[in-house]
A and B are shown apart, each in its own frame.
Chain A
Amino acid sequence: MSSRRSRQSSGSSRITDDQIIELVSKLQQLLPEIRTRRSNKASASKVLQDTCNYIRSLHKEVDDLSDRLSQLLSTIDADSPEAAIIRSLLAES
């Protein structure tokens, strides 16, 4: 429920090369700065580091946007000016 309980044959606690290849290829789409490297342990740690930095930067963005919004919205009420915005945002997608 909270995890996939299937018996894993690898069951290792370290990340294997195949998993790194999978991660690198998916992250490459998310992080354009990652250069293609030979999949080895050194690049595994670099990928992990880049991932962690990216998550941290996303957290910071959420925080900054919350700051900005708390100043823009004088109350939390879904009041008339905001309601119009909401309606337009919902309509465009």
Chain B
Amino acid sequence: MRSASSLRQEFLKKWLKGLQIYSGSKKEMSILERKKAIKLSADVAMASTRISTSSWSRALMARASNDATNKVLVQHVLSPEAQKLVPIKKDPKKLMIISRSTSSISKRISSKKIVRRSCYATRRMRKAAAQVVEASSIAKRLVMKRTEVLKSLVPGGEYMDDVSLIRETLDYILSLRLQVDVMRHFANATEETDHGKGYK
């Protein structure tokens, strides 16, 4: 794992490199356009620091490249490595596996219920058993539901199996924190400079 400071440096350099794309263009950028440019450059720069070690970064790049304008940015930031970038394609096989095992789990749960009901003699034991299964199936459903939410938050998450999702999530969170940290330092430094110069 690379040192945090070398990652920060790489992010900062790439972020600024990406921002250079916009310096030539229309002088009168609206504040909103500027914000989008700043944010996109930062996201792309962050992803490029993890491009060879994670798949969320590639998904983010692929998503950014969907827009013709942004594609220029992506390729500029990646420059020598741009050729190696393979766009993420939806893997239908993967999606089928996930949905198939989801339905098999619910089948397993309902068949568990049936087996337990027929085994226990007394009504109370049957009821208690049904409640236990009910509770654990609710918990499982909750985990599955929350997993779906997580998949929507991590770039490329929808195509990941659960094990990869966890690993990618950890890498993604660490990168986000680094991005926030560098951006905040930069904003603070810029603000101080502006105040020092007597800007508004």
Q: Which A residues are within 8 Å of any B CB, using their own CB?
A: 1-4, 8, 10-15, 19, 22-23, 26-27, 30, 40-42, 44-45, 48-49, 51-52, 54-56, 58-59, 61-63, 65-73, 75-78, 81-82, 84-86, 88-90, 93
| Bound Cα distance from A85 to B187, whole angstroms | 10
14 further A-B pairs in the complex, CB-CB below 8 A; given A30-B174, A30-B177: A12-B101, A14-B101, A22-B166, A26-B170, A30-B170, A52-B149, A55-B150, A55-B176, A62-B43, A73-B34, A73-B38, A75-B27, A78-B20, A89-B185
Which of the residues A52, A54, A72 comes within 8 Å of B191, measured between beta carbons? A72
Q: Is B14 an interface residue (CB 8 A)?
A: no
Contact of A2 among B13, B19, B27, B86 (CB under 8 A): B86
B142 nearest CB neighbor, chain A only: A45
- Is there contact, CB below 8 Å, between A85 and B193? yes
Cα–Cα distance between A12 and B161 once the two chains are bound (Å): 8
B186 at the interface (CB under 8 A from A): yes
Interface centre among B23, B97, B140, B146 (most CB of A within 10 A): B146
Chain A's closest residue to B139 (CB) is A41
In the assembled complex, the Cα of A45 lies from the Cα of B146 at a distance in Å of 6
Let me know if A54 and B146 touch, CB within 8 A: no
A76 touching B37 by the CB < 8 A rule? Answer: yes
- A89→B43 CA distance, assembly (Å): 19
Interface pair A86/B149, CB less than 8 Å apart: no
Q: Interface on chain A toward B: helix, strand, loop, or mixed SS?
A: helix
Which among B55, B159, B187 has the greatest number of chain A C-beta atoms within 10 A?
B187
Number of interface residues of B (CB under 8 A): 76
B97-125 near A? 1/0 per residue, CB < 8 Å: 11001100100000000000000000000
Q: Once the chains are docked, how many angstroms separate the CA of A42 from the CA of B173?
A: 22
Contacts known (A77-B23, A84-B193); A66 close to B9, Cβ less than 8 A: no
Complex Cα distance, B5 from A90, in Å, reads 9
From known contacts A1-B86, A13-B162, A58-B180, infer whether A72 and B194 are also in contact, taking CB-CB under 8 Å.
yes
B164: Cβ under 8 A from any A Cβ: yes
Residues of B contacting A42 in the complex (Cβ-Cβ under 8 angstroms): 139
Residues of B within 8 A of A1 (CB): 86
B190: Cβ under 8 A from any A Cβ: yes
